Amino acid sequence: MILEGKKLLVTGVVNRHSIGYAIAERAQQEGAEVILTSFGRVKRMTERSAARLDPAPDVLDLDVNDDGDIAALRAELESRWGRVDGAVHAIAFAPADAIGGQFMATPRESAKAAFETSAYSLKALAEVVTPLMDDGGALLGLDFDATVAWPSYDWMGVAKAALESVNRYLARDLGPSGIRANLVSAGPVHTAAASGISGFGQLESLWGDAAPLGWDSRDPGPVADAALFLLSDLARGITGEIVHVDGGVHAVGAAVPDGPADDAD
């Protein structure tokens, strides 16, 4: 029960395949009280997913690009809980013309939308919860390795690079208040958002061969467990970090061979 008594805000739950859903489910099992956020047409889907959790958490409105929603959610959390111990940023979006192999053709406005929703939003979420972290707390974001250029990922990849930088600056500015900011860089997980990315299937099929530990893109559990650790007091000395939960792909340059290499003649 490493999250016993913790109050956690979890964003980005669309359905039960979402990484945010796996984090919320495991957090409850580890003793946390959870509230989810959603907005617009997706909110009905989030509410149906929330009903599958035990206990079913409330779903509050949050459009991270709306300053009014940010202020309203902070006030609602203060009224309900009086404090927040941790928050999960599982929010990412890029317009269709910003991904899928159209990097050079992407218009300025689409690139800006990808940055604002996928990277600046981590700072926006911090605006919601950090005023309620009087005794310290933890911010946790979901990342996808931004050190290389991936097929079809395009401006979402650029936005993830920005997310990593935003996380470092949050760690710098929030650390004196005892608030930690970390990211989990996950391997490809078959979520609703991922399925909309052209070329995701190629990444998904290749990842298992390249990962020294293997990789099951249908199982968000390893990502969720790492997130729980970073949200817990066990990670009290860690901030500004990117923890790779990807089966080891980030550490190798090619697929691991099936057996020992042949001796050189």
Supply the CATH number for residue 205's domain: 3.40.50.720
Strand order in the sheet with 7-10: 59-61, 33-38, 7-10, 86-89, 137-143, 179-186, 242-245
Q: Is the pLDDT of residue 204 over 80?
A: no
Handedness of CA 209, 182, 227, 142 (dihedral sign): negative
Which residue of the set 6, 7, 123, 160 is catalytic? 160
Q: Known catalytic residue: 153?
A: yes
Q: Is residue 259 part of a domain?
A: no
Q: Is residue 20 part of a domain?
A: yes
What's the whole-model pTM score?
0.93
Q: Is residue 112 part of a domain?
A: yes
The larger pLDDT score, comparing residue 259 to residue 168, is at: 168
pLDDT at position 203 is 73
Q: Known catalytic residue: 160?
A: yes
What is the average per-residue pLDDT within 171-176?
A: 98
Q: Is residue 263 part of a domain?
A: no
Beta bridge partners of 181: 139
pLDDT at position 265 is 46
- Taking the C-alpha atoms of residue 139 and residue 167, their distance in angstroms, rounded to an integer, is 9
Q: Is residue 223 part of a domain?
A: yes
The larger pLDDT score, comparing residue 264 to residue 158, is at: 158
Which residue of the set 21, 112, 153, 169 is catalytic? 153
Name the percent of the chain lying above pLDDT 70: 92
pLDDT tier, 15 (very low <50, low <70, confident <90, very high otherwise):
very high
Within 13 Å of residue 120, how many CA atoms lie on the same side as its CB?
A: 12
Q: List the domain range (segments joined by +) for residue 136.
A: 7-246
Q: Is the pLDDT of residue 181 over 70?
A: yes
Give how many domains the chain has, as a whole number.
1
Q: Which range (104-118, 119-133, 228-242, 248-262) has the least confidence?
A: 248-262
- 42 CA to centre of own chain: 17
pLDDT at position 195 is 60
Q: Is residue 148 part of a domain?
A: yes
Q: Is residue 1 part of a domain?
A: no
Q: Is residue 252 part of a domain?
A: no
What is the average per-residue pLDDT within 230-257?
A: 90
Q: Is the pLDDT of residue 197 over 70?
A: no
